[in-house]
């Protein structure tokens, strides 16, 4: 956490009260590593980097060619990522996006501050509704009662039914391995562009 890796192309002597690790190469070049707070240095064969317990879990470096806008990802993927916000699954994400009037494939980076505010409100609202109705299909409340949120879906799993806001038929959209349910009119936000 906070640190420096410095290259020294000379025989200059490092301050060993400051540098935590010093590599000296046969040609005299040196690499000095200093940690401001704390850090680790691991010796890892190049081929094992992807399976390293710490590095293997990281997403791509933001400056690498691998980090494309697609890697940044569609909004829906963020909402389902438990490290971004906990507890949202495919059942609840549908109505959250509908309440927020956002398309599931809109890139997260394209959200305006107003979108983010609506999304935040929609997240809380839908989760509150889920709790209120005792959960979704197959879920039970603390008393063992089966959840009835499915009776209150707005667009989720409602293919062909009218949108509660505008009456347009709800459409089904395959996204990766999951299905999204959207109102093509209310959630028309351009996919991959500004809206
Ligand atoms: Zn609609």
What structural domains and CATH numbers belong to the chain? 3-57 (no CATH), 73-182 (1.10.8.50)
pTM of this structure: 0.62
Under the banding of pLDDT at 50, 70 and 90, the label for residue 67 is low
Task: Select from 154, 155, 135 the least CA-distant residue to 143.
Answer: 135
Q: pLDDT above 70 covers what percent of the chain?
A: 86
What separation in Å is there between the alpha carbon of 128 and the centre of ligand 1?
Answer: 22
Which is more confident, 28 or 58?
A: 28
Q: Note the pLDDT tens digit of each residue in 6-44.
A: 898 888 899 999 899 999 999 989 999 988 788 888 889
What separation in Å is there between the alpha carbon of 109 and the centre of ligand 1?
Answer: 24
Is it the case that residue 141 has pLDDT exceeding 60?
yes
Is it the case that residue 73 has pLDDT exceeding 90?
no
Is it the case that residue 60 has pLDDT exceeding 70?
no
> How far is Cα 154 from Cα 156, in angstroms, rounded to an integer?
6
Query: Can you state the angle between helices 90-99 and 113-132, rounded to 10 degrees?
Result: 130
Tokens for 134, please give them. Answer: 């005792």
Ligand 1 is a single-atom ion; what residues have CB below 5 A from it? 163, 165-166, 168, 183, 185-186
What separation in Å is there between the alpha carbon of 117 and the centre of ligand 1?
Answer: 20
What separation in Å is there between the alpha carbon of 173 and the centre of ligand 1?
Answer: 15
Q: What average pLDDT does this structure show over 123-133?
A: 90
Can you give the pLDDT at residue 194?
41
Alpha-carbon 153 to chain mean position: 24
What separation in Å is there between the alpha carbon of 156 and the centre of ligand 1?
Answer: 12
What separation in Å is there between the alpha carbon of 167 and the centre of ligand 1?
Answer: 6
What separation in Å is there between the alpha carbon of 102 and the centre of ligand 1?
Answer: 11
């Amino acid at each position: 956490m906070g640190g420096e890796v410095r290259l020294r192309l000379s025989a200059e002597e490092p301050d060993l009260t400051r540098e935590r690790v010093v590599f000296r190469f046969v040609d005299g070049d040196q690499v000095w590593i200093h940690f401001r707070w704390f850090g680790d240095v691991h010796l890892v064969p190049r081929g094992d980097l992807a399976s390293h317990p710490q590095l293997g879990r990281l997403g791509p470096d933001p400056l690498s060619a691998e980090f494309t806008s697609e890697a940044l990802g569609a909004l829906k993927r963020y909402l389902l990522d438990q490290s971004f916000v906990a507890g949202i699954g495919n059942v609840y994400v549908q109505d959250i996006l509908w309440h927020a009037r956002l398309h599931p494939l809109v890139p997260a980076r394209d959200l305006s501050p107003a979108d983010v505010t609506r999304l935040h409100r929609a997240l809380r609202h839908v989760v509150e509704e889920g709790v209120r109705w005792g959960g979704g299909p197959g879920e039970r409340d603390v008393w063992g009662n089966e959840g009835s949120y499915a009776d209150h879906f707005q667009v989720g799993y409602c293919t062909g039914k009218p949108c509660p806001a505008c009456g347009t038929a709800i459409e089904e959209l395959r996204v990766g391995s999951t299905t999204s349910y959207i109102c093509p009119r209310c959630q028309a936000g351009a996919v991959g562009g500004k809206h």
